[in-house]
C-alpha cells in the first residue's frame, strides 16, 4: 500500500555530516543553555537509536528539540527557508543558516522530531523507551507539545514542510495516549494520559478539517500523512467524524465530470478514499456516524470513484468502503428516539439510486487480478440485487432523486407519474421537496436531504445541479407532476418551482432550454395538452424565439 510519506527538508544538508554549530552568533536568538547546546551536539554525533536508548535521555533531548522549535517559530514562518521548493547543497544550506538561522533551526527541529517519532514507533513491544515515556510525564502530556500546534497555526500559507512534519509528530504523540493504542493492562496512569490528550487531539483535528475546506492540492498534501496516521486510531476517527470530516472527504472525492471542481491528484484521491474506508468501521458502533455517512452523501462520492475508475487501487478501496457500508447494522448502537434508523439497507438504496448495480454488473465481466476486488464485487452484486428485488418502482425513483443521479428511462415517463403521483405529497403531505430545496446550492442540498426534503423539493433542487442532463430530467419531472397532480399548477407556483425553472429558459444548452420551456408551459396553462399557445409550441423546436409570457398568464 503506497501512502503519503514525509518529505525531507530542503536544508537537510545543512546539519548532516558536521551538524549545526549551536554556538554560532546567528543562533543566539534560540536562547539555549550551554548544557542544551552540548546535548544537541551529542545527538548529531550518534545514531538516533543510541540517543533513544535511555528513557530519561530521550525525554530530555525531546524537550530541548521542542524548545528549539518554539524559539525558532516564535514569530511565524521564516522569510526564506519556508519558501524553498528544491533541496539545497551542503554549501548552500550552510549559507542559508547564516542568512535565515531561524528557518533552518525550525526545519532542524521538525526533522529531528520526525526521526525520533518514527524510531520510537519501530521499537519492539515491551521497550522501556516509548512515545509515552518520552512525551508524557506522570501520565500527563508535557507542556512543550504546544510548540507543534503553534507551527500549524502560525504557518499560514508559509512553511509547508514544517506544518506537515509538526502535524504528523503531534498526531503520533497524541495517539500514544488513546486507550485503543495502549498494549497490556489499563492503568490509572493510562487513563490520565488519555484525558490530557483529548483537547490537543481536538485542536489538531480542527486544524486538519480547516485545511480540508480548501480545494487546493497543497492544502491536502499538508494533512494527508497525518490523517492517514490518525485513521488507525478509533478515538481519532470518532473525533474526526464529529468535526465534519466525512463530509469534507466526500466533497473532495466527488467526480469532477459531474460538475464538481477538483484539483485532487489520483494519489490524493486514493489516500482520501482510504481514510473514508477506515471511517466506515465506526458505523456499527455509532448511529451518529452512520447518519453522517448518509447525510453527507458519501455513497455518491464512492460510486463516482468506482464509475470513473481513475486507478485500480482507488477502485479497490472504494469498493471495500461500499461493502462495509452495505453490510453494517445497528445492533450495537440503536437509533435515538425520534430519529431515522440508518443501516446497511439505507446505504444499499443510496447505491441503487446512484446506479451502482449497473457498474458492478459491468465490472464483474472484467478480469481482475486483485482477489479483494473480486470478493467485494461478488458480495456487492449479491446484496444489491437482493435489495433491488424488494424495492418498488417508487423506491427506486426516490433513491435516484435523493442521490441526484437522474437518468432517462421508464421512471421518467407519463405512465410512471400517473401511477405514482400521490407519492409526491411526501410523508407529511407538505410537498417539502419544492418548498425549500430550490433556494440551496446543490452541495448544501446534499447535506440536508436526509432530514429536511421530500421528493418534490428534491426535484426543484436538482434543477440547480451542475449536470445539465440531471437538470433536464428534473424539469421534465416537475412538468409531469404539474400535469398529473390535482391542483399541481398552484402547488408548484406557490412553492417557487416556476421561478427557478424560468431561469433555465435561456440556458445555452438547447436540450435543457427545451425541457425548461416545456415545464414552464405546463405550469402556466390549465390544460397543457389542449391549450398550449402556438408561440410556445413553435418555441419547442426553435428555443431562441422571444416569447411573451403575459400571453399565457
Per-residue pLDDT tens digits for 5-57: 788 999 998 887 777 888 888 888 899 999 999 999 988 888 888 888 888 99
Q: Which of 20-24, 164-168, 328-332 is the least confident region? A: 328-332
In a 10 Å sphere around its CB, with 0-12 CB exposed, 13-18 middle and 19+ buried, how is residue 18 labelled?
exposed
Distance CA 132, CA 112 (A): 17
Beta-carbon contacts of residue 38 (< 8 Å; ≥ 6 apart) = none
Once rounded to an integer, what is the mean pLDDT over residues 362-387? 91
Angle 449-255-330 from CA coordinates, rounded to 5°: 45
Question: Do the beta carbons of residue 373 and residue 312 sit within 8 Å?
Answer: yes
SS (H, E, C) 159-196: CHHHHHHHHHHHHHHHHCCCHHHCCCCCCHHHHHHHHH
Residue 250 has pLDDT above 60, yes or no: yes
C-alpha cell at 331: 445492533
Residue 401 has pLDDT above 70, yes or no: yes
In a 10 Å sphere around its CB, with 0-12 CB exposed, 13-18 middle and 19+ buried, how is residue 253 labelled?
buried
In a 10 Å sphere around its CB, with 0-12 CB exposed, 13-18 middle and 19+ buried, how is residue 98 labelled?
exposed
C-alpha cell at 173: 504523540
pLDDT value, residue 410 = 67
Distance CA 384, CA 354 (A): 12
Most confident of 186-200, 422-436, 449-463, 508-522: 508-522
Contacts for 444-448 with beta carbons within 8 Å, 24 or more apart? 446/296, 446/297, 446/300, 446/404, 447/247, 447/295, 447/296, 447/297, 448/295
Most confident of 8-12, 187-191, 233-237, 306-310: 233-237
Report percent pLDDT > 90 for the chain. Answer: 37
Residue 199 has pLDDT above 50, yes or no: yes
pLDDT value, residue 530 = 44
pLDDT value, residue 313 = 92
* DSSP tag of 413: S
Q: Which residue has the cell 458519501?
A: 298
Question: Do the beta carbons of residue 355 and residue 405 sit within 8 Å?
Answer: yes
C-alpha cell at 533: 399557445
Query: What are the beta bridge partners of residue 178?
Result: none
pLDDT value, residue 188 = 45
pLDDT value, residue 103 = 92
Q: Which residue has the cell 428516539?
A: 337
Question: Do the beta carbons of residue 263 and residue 215 sit within 8 Å?
Answer: yes
Distance CA 316, CA 270 (A): 9
Residue 338 has pLDDT above 80, yes or no: no
pLDDT value, residue 290 = 93
Distance CA 481, CA 463 (A): 14
Of the pLDDT bands very low, low, confident and very high (cuts 50, 70, 90), residue 378 is very high
Task: Tell me the pLDDT tens digit for each residue of 493-546.
Answer: 776 777 778 888 888 888 888 888 888 888 877 655 544 443 444 444 443 334
Of the pLDDT bands very low, low, confident and very high (cuts 50, 70, 90), residue 154 is confident
pLDDT value, residue 497 = 74
Distance CA 210, CA 242 (A): 14
pLDDT value, residue 284 = 92
Identify which of 489, 487, 473 has the alpha carbon closest to the alpha carbon of residue 413.
473
Question: Do the beta carbons of residue 109 and residue 11 sit within 8 Å?
Answer: no
C-alpha cell at 456: 418534490
pLDDT value, residue 125 = 67
Sign, CA dihedral 422-425-426-432, equals positive
* Distance (Å) of CA 127 to CA 114, 121, 184, 521: 19, 10, 13, 77
Which position has the higher pLDDT, 430 or 240?
Answer: 240
Residue 454 has pLDDT above 50, yes or no: no
Of the pLDDT bands very low, low, confident and very high (cuts 50, 70, 90), residue 424 is confident
pLDDT value, residue 262 = 58
Once rounded to an integer, what is the mean pLDDT over residues 89-100? 90
Q: Within a 10 A sphere around the Cβ of 3, how many other Cβ atoms? A: 13
Most confident of 168-172, 176-180, 355-359, 518-522: 168-172
Question: Do the beta carbons of residue 152 and residue 110 sit within 8 Å?
Answer: no
Distance CA 349, CA 391 (A): 8
Of the pLDDT bands very low, low, confident and very high (cuts 50, 70, 90), residue 490 is confident
Q: Which domains does the chain have, with CATH numbers?
A: 1-207 (no CATH), 406-439+463-536 (1.25.40.150)
- CA 326 to the chain's CA centroid: 19
- CA 490 to the chain's CA centroid: 41
pLDDT value, residue 508 = 85
Once rounded to an integer, what is the mean pLDDT over residues 432-460? 42
pLDDT value, residue 442 = 35
Distance CA 178, CA 240 (A): 14
pLDDT value, residue 339 = 79
Q: Which of 103-117, 173-187, 321-335, 475-489 is the least confident region? A: 173-187
The CA-based dihedral angle spanning residues 88, 92, 97, 99, taken in that order and rounded to the nearest 10 degrees: -110
- CA 532 to the chain's CA centroid: 48
Radius of gyration over alpha carbons of the chain, in Å?
29
SS (H, E, C) 126-149: CCCCCHHHHHEECCEECHHHHHHH
Of the pLDDT bands very low, low, confident and very high (cuts 50, 70, 90), residue 473 is confident
Distance CA 280, CA 288 (A): 12
Please name the helix (run of DSSP H) or strand (run of DSSP E) that holds residue 450, with its range, or none. Answer: helix 442-452
pLDDT value, residue 249 = 95
Beta-carbon contacts of residue 348 (< 8 Å; ≥ 6 apart) = 326, 383, 384, 387
pLDDT value, residue 51 = 82
Amino acid at each position: 500500500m503506497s501512502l503519503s510519506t514525509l518529505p525531507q527538508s530542503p536544508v537537510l544538508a545543512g546539519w548532516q555530516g558536521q551538524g549545526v554549530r549551536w554556538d554560532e552568533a546567528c543562533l543566539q536568538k534560540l536562547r539555549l543553555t550551554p548544557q542544551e547546546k552540548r546535548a544537541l551536539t551529542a545527538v548529531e554525533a550518534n545514531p538516533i537509536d543510541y540517543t533513544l536508548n535511555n528513557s530519561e535521555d530521550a525525554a530530555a533531548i525531546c524537550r530541548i528539540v521542542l524548545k528549539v522549535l518554539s524559539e525558532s517559530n516564535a514569530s511565524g514562518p521564516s522569510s526564506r527557508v519556508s519558501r524553498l521548493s528544491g533541496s539545497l547543497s551542503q554549501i548552500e544550506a550552510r549559507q542559508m543558516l547564516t542568512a535565515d538561522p531561524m528557518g533552518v533551526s525550525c526545519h532542524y527541529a521538525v526533522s529531528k522530531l520526525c526521526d525520533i517519532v518514527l524510531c520510537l514507533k519501530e521499537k519492539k513491544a515491551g521497550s522501556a523507551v516509548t512515545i509515552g515515556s518520552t512525551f508524557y510525564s506522570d501520565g500527563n502530556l508535557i507542556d512543550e507539545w504546544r510548540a507543534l500546534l503553534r507551527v500549524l497555526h502560525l504557518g499560514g500559507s508559509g512553511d509547508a514542510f514544517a506544518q506537515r512534519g509538526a502535524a504528523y509528530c503531534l498526531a503520533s504523540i497524541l495517539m500514544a495516549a488513546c486507550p485503543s493504542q495502549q498494549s497490556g493492562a489499563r492503568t490509572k496512569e493510562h487513563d490520565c494520559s488519555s484525558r490530557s490528550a483529548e483537547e490537543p487531539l481536538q485542536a489538531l483535528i480542527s486544524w486538519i478539517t480547516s485545511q480540508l475546506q480548501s480545494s487546493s492540492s497543497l492544502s491536502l498534501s499538508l494533512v494527508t500523512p497525518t490523517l492517514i496516521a490518525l485513521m488507525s486510531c478509533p478515538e481519532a476517527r470518532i473525533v474526526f467524524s464529529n468535526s465534519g470530516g466525512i463530509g469534507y472527504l466526500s466533497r473532495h472525492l466527488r467526480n469532477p465530470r459531474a460538475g464538481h471542481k477538483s484539483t485532487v491528484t489520483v494519489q490524493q484521491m486514493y489516500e482520501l478514499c482510504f481514510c473514508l474506508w477506515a471511517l466506515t468501521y465506526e458505523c456499527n458502533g455509532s448511529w451518529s456516524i452512520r447518519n453522517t455517512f448518509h447525510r453527507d452523501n458519501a455513497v455518491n462520492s464512492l460510486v463516482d470513484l468506482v464509475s470513473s475508475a481513475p486507478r485500480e487501487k482507488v477502485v479497490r478501496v472504494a469498493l471495500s468502503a461500499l461493502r462495509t457500508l452495505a453490510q453494517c447494522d445497528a445492533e450495537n448502537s440503536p437509533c435515538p428516539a425520534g430519529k431515522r434508523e440508518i443501516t446497511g439497507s439505507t446505504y444499499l438504496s443510496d447505491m441503487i439510486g446512484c446506479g451502482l448495480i449497473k457498474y458492478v454488473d459491468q465490472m464483474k465481466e472484467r478480469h481482475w487480478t486483485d482477489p479483494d476486488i473480486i470478493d467485494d464485487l461478488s458480495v456487492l452484486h449479491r446484496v444489491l440485487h437482493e435489495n433491488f428485488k424488494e424495492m418498488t418502482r417508487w423506491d427506486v425513483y426516490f433513491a435516484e432523486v435523493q442521490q441526484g443521479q437522474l437518468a432517462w428511462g421508464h421512471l421518467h415517463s407519463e405512465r410512471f407519474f400517473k401511477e405514482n403521483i400521490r407519492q409526491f405529497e411526501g410523508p407529511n403531505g407538505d410537498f417539502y421537496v419544492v418548498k425549500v430545496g430550490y433556494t440551496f446550492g446543490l452541495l448544501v442540498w446534499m447535506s440536508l436531504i436526509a432530514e429536511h426534503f421530500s421528493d418534490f423539493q428534491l426535484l426543484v433542487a436538482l434543477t440547480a445541479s451542475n449536470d445539465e442532463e440531471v437538470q433536464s430530467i428534473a424539469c421534465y419531472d416537475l412538468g409531469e407532476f404539474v400535469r398529473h397532480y390535482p391542483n399541481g399548477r398552484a402547488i408548484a407556483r406557490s412553492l417557487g418551482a416556476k421561478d427557478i425553472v424560468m431561469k433555465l429558459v435561456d440556458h445555452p444548452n438547447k436540450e435543457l432550454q427545451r425541457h425548461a420551456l416545456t415545464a414552464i408551459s405546463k405550469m402556466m396553462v390549465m390544460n397543457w395538452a389542449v391549450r398550449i399557445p402556438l408561440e410556445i409550441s413553435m418555441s419547442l423546436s426553435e428555443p431562441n424565439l422571444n416569447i411573451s409570457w403575459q400571453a399565457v398568464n
